[in-house]
């Protein structure tokens, strides 16, 4: 893992490599991959012997592709674009036509990679699949059939795959099986951009590098955990995609479960990829499997109605382009999960995510058990504020601790106060896309931040009962909520019946 601002003694320059991008003309490459590569180049973290091969499905001149990517960089860059840096980055770019439907078309890619070997001595290849999920398997099979995934003569081959990794447990298992026929597990990098965020990575440091937290990180001291990923954006132009996916598939098995795994995992024996990923996988595998009846009881699915978010009017989801007028696809999901192990027995984990909500917020909130109240019974104190440790990821990266203290004055009055740490107040960091760390780790071969097959399958196994139960229920139980609110009332009832409540998503 790295900070993309400076090169220090602990950051090594990656091996020389060809960075092959499938889907180079698409939105993901323009918004995130190319800007991240630019930031790495500016920070001196790309190898001197480096080239980009953009793979297109139609014949495209390299000059045309460079101009297109330059426009995208100027639009989506997180930092001012310096022409000399951009020229260096795009100076090594070549456009190649290859289509999985035409096996012979891969010959052009093989010729270009061989040219890089002869001209620059580059023998390592990283294949980045910035493509829709349906293209993962055919592209991988095309590369495998051409022998481009085979490692030999100390040259490495790595395959980077974007989410969603499968649409349910069965499809995830099948995709894993298909890919593992073509490449070894150490070659596969299942990428989740949430894990590139500094605050997410800092969960491990917060837990395991501070003696004040690890001793109380268990069922004896923690009442419950809330994980929230709320978005103000609506489905917009992605109606066709969302009708096939929904909030649960889109966010829970990847983003939310990665956060949950970091909070719940046991301490790894060492800070390396195998140890960390093994403990994360064990935490997800320990999520208690629910029956379909339990899944219905311990979940809420919602769909947004028309409403206003700030100064923007949002339309009814069912009136979105490419959305069925009687759609029962959820745009909001809330779950209650438990982890069946010694550390977390009896501690509920509440997860929620949704679109068209009141505020954009991603956070992990750990609620500690209330201290005994009896000693204050002769004072003016009527209640104690809740004790929370909140790890903020978006929009503000930081950590907040909420605790009780005495209000100044002659009487003993207690009130809750907050201590806040914000990254921007302590560390100077250049704006980035969140992909810099992940792409850098791909190039140096550090897969600590990437999901392993067992972790992916454990996540899908945990949500499969909810998928099954919701499918059978159809429109029954689908809750409606107005855009610009914090979700359906039924989501509040999910916690209220346990004597708890959600943290407000529109607060600081």
Annotated catalytic residues are: 255
Torsion of CA 329, 452, 465, 286, to 10 degrees: -140
Q: Among candidates 128, 108, 104, 95, which has minimal Cα distance to 17?
A: 128
Q: Two tokens at 398?
A: 């930081």
Closest by CA position to 380, among listed 407, 399, 403, 341: 407
Closest CA to 296 of 500, 486, 461, 467: 467
Residue 341 and residue 303 in contact, taking contact as beta carbons nearer than 8 Å: no
Rounded CA separation 128/130 (Å)? 6
Assigned token pair, 150: 């085979």
Task: Report how far apart the first and last C-alpha atoms of the chain are (Å, whole number).
Answer: 29
Which of 255, 250, 51, 21 is CA-nearest to residue 135?
21
Task: Give the C-alpha separation, 30 to 226, whole Å.
Answer: 34
Residues 6+ apart with CB under 8 A from 162: 28, 129, 130, 131, 133, 191
Cα–Cα distance measured from residue 240 to residue 255, given in angstroms and rounded to the nearest whole number: 21
Looking at the DSSP bridge assignments, the partners of residue 354 are 230, 332
Q: Say if residue 487 is preceded by a cis peptide, omega within 30 of 0.
A: no
Contacting residues for 188 by C-beta, under 8 A, at least 6 apart: 158, 159, 161, 179, 180, 450, 453
Integer Cα distance of 23 and 33 in angstroms:
11
CA 341 to CA 394: how far, in whole Å? 30
Q: What are the structure tokens assigned to 435, written together? A: 């992909």
DSSP letters spanning 115-180: HHHHHH----EEEEE-S-GGGHHHHHHHHHHTTTT--BTTB-EEEEEPSP--SSHHHHHHHHHHHH
Q: If we measure between CA atoms, which residue out of 377, 48, 365, 352 comes closest to residue 230?
A: 352
Instruction: State whether residue 370 is helix, strand or coil.
Output: coil
CB 502 within 8 A of CB 351: no
């Amino acid at each position: 893992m790295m900070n993309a601002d400076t090169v220090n003694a602990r950051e090594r320059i990656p091996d020389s490599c060809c960075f092959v991008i499938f889907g180079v003309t698409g939105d993901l490459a323009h918004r995130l991959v190319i800007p991240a590569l630019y930031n790495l180049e500016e920070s001196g973290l790309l190898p001197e012997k480096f080239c980009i091969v953009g793979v297109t499905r139609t014949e495209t001149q390299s000059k045309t592709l460079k101009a297109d990517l330059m426009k995208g960089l100027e639009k989506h860059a997180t930092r001012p674009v310096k022409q000399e840096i951009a020229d260096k980055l795009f100076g090594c770019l070549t456009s190649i036509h290859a289509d999985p439907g035409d096996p012979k078309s891969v010959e052009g890619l093989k010729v270009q990679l061989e040219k890089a070997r002869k001209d620059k001595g580059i023998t390592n290849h990283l294949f980045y699949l910035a493509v829709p999920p349906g293209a993962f398997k055919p592209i991988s099979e095309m590369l495998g059939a051409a022998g481009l995934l085979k490692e030999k003569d100390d040259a490495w081959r790595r395959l980077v795959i974007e989410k969603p990794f499968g649409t349910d447990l069965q499809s995830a298992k099948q995709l894993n099986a298909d890919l593992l026929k073509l490449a070894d597990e150490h070659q596969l990098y299942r990428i989740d951009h949430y894990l590139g965020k500094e605050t997410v990575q800092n969960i491990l440091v917060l837990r395991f590098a501070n003696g004040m937290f690890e001793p109380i990180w268990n069922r004896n001291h923690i009442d419950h955990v809330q994980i929230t990923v709320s978005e103000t954006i609506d489905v917009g132009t992605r109606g066709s995609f969302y009708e096939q996916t929904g909030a649960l598939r889109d966010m829970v098995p990847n983003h939310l479960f990665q956060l949950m795994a970091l909070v719940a995992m046991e301490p790894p024996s060492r800070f390396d990829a195998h140890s960390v990923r093994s403990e994360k996988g064990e935490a997800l595998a320990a999520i208690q499997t629910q029956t379909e009846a339990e899944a219905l009881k311990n979940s809420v699915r919602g769909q947004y109605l028309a409403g206003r978010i700030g100064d923007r009017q949002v339309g009814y989801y069912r009136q979105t382009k490419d959305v069925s007028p009687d759609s029962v696809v959820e745009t909001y999901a809330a779950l209650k999960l438990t982890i069946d192990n010694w550390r977390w027995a009896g501690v509920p984990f509440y997860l929620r995510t949704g679109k068209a909500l009141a505020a954009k917020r991603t956070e992990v909130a750990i609620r500690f058990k209330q201290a005994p109240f009896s000693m204050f019974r002769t004072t003016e104190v009527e209640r104690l504020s809740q004790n929370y440790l909140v790890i903020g990821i978006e929009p503000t990266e930081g950590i907040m601790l909420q605790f009780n203290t005495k209000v100044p004055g002659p009487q003993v009055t207690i009130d809750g106060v907050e201590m806040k740490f914000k990254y921007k107040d302590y560390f100077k960091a250049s704006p980035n896309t969140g992909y810099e760390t992940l792409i850098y780790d791909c190039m140096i071969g550090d897969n600590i931040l990437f999901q392993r097959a067992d972790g992916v399958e454990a996540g899908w196994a945990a949500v499969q009962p909810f998928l099954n139960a919701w499918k059978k229920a159809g429109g029954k139980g689908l809750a409606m909520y107005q855009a610009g609110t914090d979700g359906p009332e039924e989501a509040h009832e999910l916690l209220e019946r346990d004597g708890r409540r959600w943290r407000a998503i529109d607060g600081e």
